[in-house]
Structure 1
């Protein structure tokens, strides 16, 4: 930046501090644009999946807590999917949407893919054990898995969209 009269470089410490602060904020945050709406809708669909049946008549939140119809019937893998999709798909995604921090974008991306793999395994375990005193996968489990894959994909695309520094 040049001085107004002499053409020499401006040496205003307050201006330099303000420019540095803006630059620091810009490198830590992400602009989501229209992708934020799609992520928000997918998070809402995931929340809807928690009230729909995951196994028999047990809703997703019952599988998570091991209560109601899921008491003693929900295996470890569906409960793990319920926990990881709640943590990464709902809680971390909402936090990332509100703060727009790059670090949270990566947490959502990596955690989302971990939850997505858990979801595939949860559906598989429900299918492979159905009929053996255990109900198969419910519509809520399938909807939750699809929503989790969409959420993870969107967060990965967002995380990888950051230009390389240097």
Structure 2
């Protein structure tokens, strides 16, 4: 094998290594993430507040009822939608960057969901949270343990090898 063929082979192998390092292998988590997203989609059709469904919160089309919904609960509805979209994209294209965004969205959704339930139940003038909102919060939070191992596993693959750091063996 000549020097140019060897250099070309090394370049090809490094390109393959970069492509593989960007991918995730969700395995059985594909089913659980997809089921969670399907449940969140179904919950968006149900009323999350008396007289207001999840999709109405996202689109701001509830006539006069939005005054009784906290902005935190509205933010939660939008975050759930964004997290669901990025979760499905990450599962379909198997890219680590999308999985990281899905994890961040799930974490934010969990926080906003908790604050949304709390604000709806404790602040005067707002409608009480329905079990649908509470269930949506629990399902959104359940995405976190699905994404953490996939995102965490990438860290070991992403560290530069000794030859790229300039060290010789």
Using the size of structure 1 for normalisation, the TM-score is: 0.84
Query: Hey, what does 2:112 align to over in structure 1?
Result: 118
Query: Hey, what does 2:69 align to over in structure 1?
Result: 74
RMSD of aligned Cα (Å): 2.1
Of 81, 84, 87, which residue of structure 1 is paired with 2:79? 84
CA displacement, residues 22-46 of structure 1 (integer Å, 9 cap, x when unaligned): 2111011111111111111111111
In the comparison of the two structures, how many residue pairs are matched?
A: 157
Query: C-alpha distance in 1, partners of 2:155/2:52?
Result: 45
* Larger helix percent: 2
Using the size of structure 2 for normalisation, the TM-score is: 0.82
Superposition pairs of residues 42-81 of structure 1, within 5 angstroms: 42-68=36-62, 70-81=65-76
Of 3, 6, 16, which residue of structure 1 is paired with 2:10? 16
Query: C-alpha distance in 2, partners of 1:124/1:162?
Result: 35
Q: Extract unaligned runs of 5+ from structure 2.
A: 162-169
Query: Hey, what does 1:144 align to over in structure 2?
Result: 136
Following TM superposition, the consecutive aligned residue runs of length 4 or more in structure 1 with deviations greater than 3 angstroms are 8-18
**Secondary structure at 1:30's aligned position in 2?**
coil
User: More deviation in 66-75 or 23-32?
Assistant: 66-75
Shift of 1:100: 1.0
Superposition pairs of residues 149-164 of structure 1, within 5 angstroms: 149-164=141-156
Query: C-alpha distance in 1, partners of 2:3/2:60?
Result: 67
